Amino acid sequence: MRLTVLDRGHRLPARLFFGFTELVSRVPMSDVPKTLLYRPDFFGAVFLDLSAKAMRGPSFWTAGEREYMAQQTAERLQCPYCAVTHTELVRIAGDPSPLRPELTAALRFLDDLTPPGITKDAAVDALNVSLIWQVVNRLANAFGFQLLPGQLESGTRSLHRFGYRFPGFLTGKATGTLRHAVLEAPARTPPELRQAAASGDAWGSYAATVRDASYRVSTEDIARLKQDHTEDEIFEVTVAAAVGAALDHYDAGLRILGD
């Protein structure tokens, strides 16, 4: 993890949860929950609520098909961490192979945003899945997520078992939209900076790289940013850039569907 605050900057409830979970599982807490449970009022609460609905809520798609979409998103965005994780989740949730024609059409729609040839409800459900992993893939690449021994098996089983939900005492109540929480609400950085980052126009080429080629973000890039910015500022700008790119794709998909 390239930001110290994502390892050791959590509130007491999260620290206690991590400690208990690590004691029971004998596996260190993985980087995804560390990131999503850091500053949940800024990002994690709304995002986790969306994740649970997209991945395990009512849908045209089976759980295994949604995990397959997530795995394919990781391949497109060149995120090894997420590709490995969702390959395992496909196995756990139910491998959809051979793919039904509707899933093939949905994957093509998510890839090139052409009319999908499936029902509008099915296409929106697919866009909801893509929105989640377009964000997580970029954060995983930018923040340098790594899988430690035992985390793949333990983490994926827990995600599937609990339906992508975390206890409410860790996140608080999710209110508002992802766009508002990350790009408009008060935070450590001004909304104008986060909105610029969402468009790829902040801190030189950094925000654009997170948006367009997050796999190119390096430890050296983050180290240079730390010379002029706090880790909280880096966290917010990175999240804003990732969310901005994901929302652009999502909104473009809705326009194709006529919304």
186 found inside a domain: yes
21 found inside a domain: no
Give the whole-angstrom CA distance, residue 171 versus residue 217. Answer: 28
Q: From first to last of the 259 residues of the chain, give the pLDDT tens digit.
A: 999 999 999 999 999 999 999 999 999 999 999 999 999 999 999 999 999 999 999 999 999 999 999 999 999 999 999 999 999 999 999 999 999 999 999 999 999 999 999 999 999 999 999 999 999 999 999 999 999 999 999 999 999 999 999 999 999 888 899 999 999 999 999 999 999 999 999 999 999 999 999 999 999 999 999 999 999 999 999 999 999 999 999 999 999 999 7
Give the rounded percent of residues in the chain with a pLDDT score beyond 90.
97
Q: What would the two tokens of residue 248 be?
A: 């652009």
- CB burial of residue 167 (10 Å; 0-12, 13-18, 19+): exposed
124 found inside a domain: yes
115 found inside a domain: yes
88 found inside a domain: yes
Which H or E run contains 175? Answer: none
12 found inside a domain: no
Q: What would the two tokens of residue 46 be?
A: 């709304």
Torsion of CA 244, 245, 251, 256, to 10 degrees: 170
Tell me how many domains the chain contains: 1
Q: What would the two tokens of residue 120 be?
A: 């509008």
8 found inside a domain: no
Domain carrying residue 166: 32-257
7 found inside a domain: no
Q: pLDDT per residue over 175-233, tens digit each?
A: 899 999 999 999 999 999 999 999 999 999 999 999 999 999 999 999 999 999 999 99
